[in-house]
Amino acid sequence: MTQGFDTTAIHAGTAPDPATGARQVPIYQTTSYVFRDTDHAARLFGLQEVGYIYSRLTNPTVGALQNRVAALEGGAGAVCCSSGHAAQIMALFPLMAPGRNIVASTRLYGGTVTQFSHTIRRFGWSAKFVDFDDLDALAAAIDGDTRAVFCESISNPGGYVTDIPAVAGITDAAGIPLIVDNTLATPYLCKPLGMGATLVVHSLTKYMTGNGTVTGGAVVDSGAFDWSASGKFPSLSDPEPAYHGLKFHETFGPAAFTFHSIAIGLRDLGMTMNPQGAHYTLMGIETLGLRMARHVENAQTVADWLENDPRVTAVTYAGLASSPWNATAQRLYPKGAGALFTFSVKGGYDAAVKLVGALKLFSHVANLGDARSLVIHSASTTHRQLTEAQQRAAGAAPDLLRLSIGIEDPADLIADLDQALAAAVA
Ligand SMILES: Cc1ncc(COP(=O)(O)O)c(C=O)c1O
């Protein structure tokens, strides 16, 4: 029987602790695990048996979280990482090689634009940025060296939504995996794997944990991509010298990407999530459905109020009828368009800066997806390293403020915005 979202969020990946019966997932705060004997140790190291060796690779608390995130996204497997940014590198690592490129959306978190524009070049990888609403431009940008296409389901900071099935149609035709960053939507609002994506990446730092306590990430694999068909993904299809010629895809089938990410990715890159963080995230996910429903309801209420205020000049929330993304949001994100968006005020940049200073309930921080409502000026912070053209393409123009709407009483959020607007806008 298929379980509902909230049941999966509470139960998937966990059972009472076999040693003690503990009902909540224990924090296995250990680096290593005693082998039964030398043969057991050798079999674990040779990937002939699955088990625990060393917590850089596997840990039972992190494993429980991996199973839960995979179940919520409808994936074959997941690997958790030390941050969302680590997850992005871990997702690309098995696919890429020097000289290969990715095609990425222009509408991304600024840190991701920077990671893809500059840092990945040091590995000999590169990125081409395209407006993903222009499907012809997307198809044209994919070339013989492209190994992945990357977008956010709901994008930071504008809250714009991506037509994932349309993008997946292009990547399917090209035989290239589609990676979707599902951080802002979470599997409660959107399940990209069910819409044709190959991999999902998460910053667990945001809504999945939900209270601003943990830095973490995850990569979820659909298990459906044929890594051997084209010869373009030798790390997964060809003999792996570090495991005596083992072929990951042939040996592990739908679990190939996840096994590779643990056995090679975590082993050699070491971007491991810690068990304490995994425990907090597991607890956060238990209330994901309840929180996301409230986040979305509050975001819609606040966006509606802002749009009707004469001191406000624009609101980008895709849940508003005025948004060019509203039809796509209603079709593909029926439970809501997330809880992050930008707005601008009369008086432009100067008034926006005053407004941030006048807010009392909203915290001025570089985070999103917290139970608390948050505000930031993206162009001078999260999207600061971008050129002004990149900022505008990403939806982070200099006069915009980004709001991450929390789960407080909406009347209090509106009252705070009202008094701050009064202080900032003449
Ligand atoms: C959409 C999105 N993806 C990825 C990241 C990076 O996640 P982390 O900060 O956990 O590395 C962020 C961070 O803000 C984000 O907003």
Q: What is the DSSP string of 21-84?
A: --SSPP----SB---SSHHHHHHHHTTSS---SBTTT--HHHHHHHHHHHHHHT-SEEEEESSH
Claim to verify: residue 150 and residue 211 sit in the same structural domain: yes
In-domain check, residue 12:
no
In-domain check, residue 19:
no
Tell me which of 85, 107, 186, 382 to substitute to probe ligand 1's pocket, judged by most ligand atoms within 8 Å of the beta carbon: 85
Claim to verify: residue 217 and residue 78 sit in the same structural domain: yes
- Ligand 1 is surrounded, with C-beta below 6 A, by 83-85, 109, 111-112, 152, 156, 181, 183-184, 203, 205, 215, 217, 368
pLDDT tens digits for the chain (426 residues)?
689 999 999 999 999 998 899 999 999 999 999 999 999 999 999 889 999 999 999 999 999 999 999 999 999 999 999 999 999 999 999 999 999 999 999 999 999 999 999 999 999 999 999 999 999 999 999 999 999 999 999 999 999 999 999 999 999 999 999 999 999 999 999 999 999 999 999 999 999 999 999 999 999 999 999 999 999 999 999 999 999 899 999 999 999 999 999 999 999 999 999 999 999 999 999 999 999 999 999 999 999 999 999 999 999 999 999 999 999 999 999 999 999 999 999 999 899 999 999 999 999 999 999 999 999 998 888 888 888 888 888 888 888 999 999 999 999 999 999 999 999 997
Q: Whose CA is nearest to atom 7 of ligand 1?
A: 84
Which residue among 284, 308, 342 closes a domain? 284
CA 236 to centroid of ligand 1, rounded, Å = 27
Whether pTM exceeds 0.95: yes
Residue 213 CA to residue 309 CA, distance in Å, equals 34
Q: How many domains does the chain have?
A: 2
Claim to verify: residue 273 and residue 322 sit in the same structural domain: no
CA 200 to centroid of ligand 1, rounded, Å = 13
- Domain extent, residue 326, equals 288-424
Token representation of residue 259 = 């096994």
Residue 281 CA to residue 80 CA, distance in Å, equals 11
Position 1 scores a pLDDT of 61
Which residue among 251, 284, 317 closes a domain? 284
Tell me which of 203, 342, 403, 404 to substitute to probe ligand 1's pocket, judged by most ligand atoms within 8 Å of the beta carbon: 203
- CA 85 to ligand 1: nearest atom: 11
Please provide the distance, in angstroms rounded to a whole number, between the alpha carbons at the two ends of the chain.
59
Q: Which residues contact 268 (CB under 8 A, 6 or more apart)?
A: none
Claim to verify: residue 68 and residue 199 sit in the same structural domain: yes
What is the domain-level CATH number for residue 99? 3.40.640.10
What is the domain-level CATH number for residue 396? 3.90.1150.10
Claim to verify: residue 49 and residue 140 sit in the same structural domain: yes
The sign of the dihedral angle between the CA atoms of 95, 101, 102, 108 is positive
CA angle 412, 417, 421 (to 5 degrees): 150
Claim to verify: residue 329 and residue 269 sit in the same structural domain: no
- CA 88 to ligand 1: nearest atom: 4
Claim to verify: residue 409 and residue 363 sit in the same structural domain: yes
Claim to verify: residue 333 and residue 409 sit in the same structural domain: yes
Which residue among 284, 314, 346 closes a domain? 284
- CA 204 to ligand 1: nearest atom: 10
Claim to verify: residue 116 and residue 103 sit in the same structural domain: yes
CA 231 to centroid of ligand 1, rounded, Å = 31
Claim to verify: residue 124 and residue 224 sit in the same structural domain: yes
**Prior bond of 165 cis (ω within 30°):** no
Is the Cβ–Cβ distance between 374 and 368 less than 8 Å?
yes
- CA 366 to ligand 1: nearest atom: 14
In-domain check, residue 213:
yes
Claim to verify: residue 409 and residue 350 sit in the same structural domain: yes
